[in-house]
Amino acid sequence: MDTGTGWSRDLLYQLVDNVREYSIFATKPDGEIVSWNPGGEKIFGYTGDEIIGQKCDILFTPDDNAKNEPDRERSVARQKGWASDERWHMRKDGSRFFASGIMTPLVDENGELTGFAKICRDLTDRVNLQHQLEEHESSVEEKISERTKQLSEKNQQLHIEVVDRKQREEMRVDILRKIVRTQEDERKRIAREIHDHIGQQMTVMKLRLRALGTLCKDTPLAAKHIADLEAVANQIDADVDFLAWELRPSVLDDLGLAPAVDKFVDDWSRHFNIPAEFRLVDWNGTLLAPEIEINLYRIAQEALNNVCKHAEAKNASVILEQRDDLVRLIVEDDGRGFDVDSTFEVSGDDRGMGLLGMKERAELLGGNIEIESAPGRGTTVFARVPSRHENL
């Protein structure tokens, strides 16, 4: 048994002497160091000859010594059977390092306290790394905070710009709406004056020419001239009626969009001698808000006028459709077509101005215009606006 005990003690001594990463030392009950391993020399800087015989207080910082931390640690170890700590310690050269340690009491076979044993490990690299990580995180947080502040300021600036742009757009739309209303009021006034004054005068002139023709029926040459004048008067009267109708169709106010467009397509077809048809799809007959009706009517009017001015078409068609809370107006022709992008880019071009006018009218109603065309392939105008039935 004794041999075995001695062999175990020798093995323990070898183990302690070969540990380099941990400081392992023993003290008397009062803290005087009585044993010191090579790991202690590596970590604290003291050789065994230098440290043995001194109190372990030398390994603590002045602040901890002022708070009697060495005595407190021994007291805790004695009471609990162990004491652990993580604290700053002092090396021989006066530098500090952070260590994790555990102290246990040593007792003899009678249970009497003979001293303490302590194992320490240098955690300075870990602490420094942790500090670096904390500093890095702090730096990252500062950068994030600064970037967040910059983004917040940028977002605020963008918000102001968006609000300003929205206000300008609302002002533009409001001005455009007032212009359209003013135009329609002026069209209505001019149409009424044309009908009441020029129309009446044309009627009087035709009646007088007819009476004059009766008086001159025995004079063939004069009768022929009068008949020719009467034909010209009839054409002028028809042109005046069509002009008044273009300016403001009374049927639009009386019956609504569909009958007005239907009549306009029919009159337009006869006036310009271009076959055209009008179709309704899923139309429920409900009157739309006046602003929607007049603007869609003007879009149809402008689209057909572009057909007679530019398309050289043989046929045209107009479709009115209600679907999914939208009103769709489609105007098609089989004419020569055109390059849409270049036409919009040409400033002052008659067709381009007409297309822009249609686009503005659709946007005024919260809708849009799409135009499909290509040289030699005809043109299709799609207008889509929300279907509303109350006054705007």
The tens digit of pLDDT for each residue in 98-111 reads 998 999 999 988 88
Residues 47 and 130 grouped into a single domain: no
Choosing from 191, 219, 248, the residue where a domain stops is 248
Residues 110 and 66 grouped into a single domain: yes
Is pLDDT above 70 for 65? yes
Query: Which domain, by its residues, includes 14?
Result: 2-122
Residues 150 and 244 grouped into a single domain: yes
142: confidence class by pLDDT, cuts 50, 70, 90: confident
Q: Please write the tens of the pLDDT for every residue from 306-326.
A: 898 888 899 999 999 988 788
Residues 207 and 270 grouped into a single domain: no
Residues 114 and 132 grouped into a single domain: no
Query: Between the ranges 42-56, 179-193, 206-220, 254-268, where is the mean pLDDT highest?
Result: 42-56
Residues 329 and 369 grouped into a single domain: yes
Rg of the chain in Å (alpha carbons): 52
Query: Between the ranges 36-50, 329-343, 349-363, where is the mean pLDDT highest?
Result: 36-50
Instruction: Give the rounded distance of the alpha carbon of 292 from its chain centre.
Output: 30
Residues 255 and 382 grouped into a single domain: yes
238: confidence class by pLDDT, cuts 50, 70, 90: confident
Is pLDDT above 60 for 3? no
Instruction: Give the rounded distance of the alpha carbon of 16 from its chain centre.
Output: 68
Residues 198 and 266 grouped into a single domain: no
Q: What pLDDT score was predicted for residue 58?
A: 94
- The mean of the pLDDT values for the chain is 82
Choosing from 227, 248, 269, the residue where a domain stops is 248
Residues 102 and 149 grouped into a single domain: no
Residues 137 and 224 grouped into a single domain: yes
Choosing from 216, 248, 280, the residue where a domain stops is 248
Check if the beta carbon of residue 298 is closer than 8 Å to that of residue 277: no
Residues 176 and 257 grouped into a single domain: no
List the beta strands (DSSP E) in 68-189: 83-90, 96-107, 113-122
Domain count of the fold of the chain: 3
- State both tokens at 222: 């004069």
Q: What is the CATH number of the domain that holds 281?
A: 3.30.565.10
Residues 299 and 392 grouped into a single domain: yes
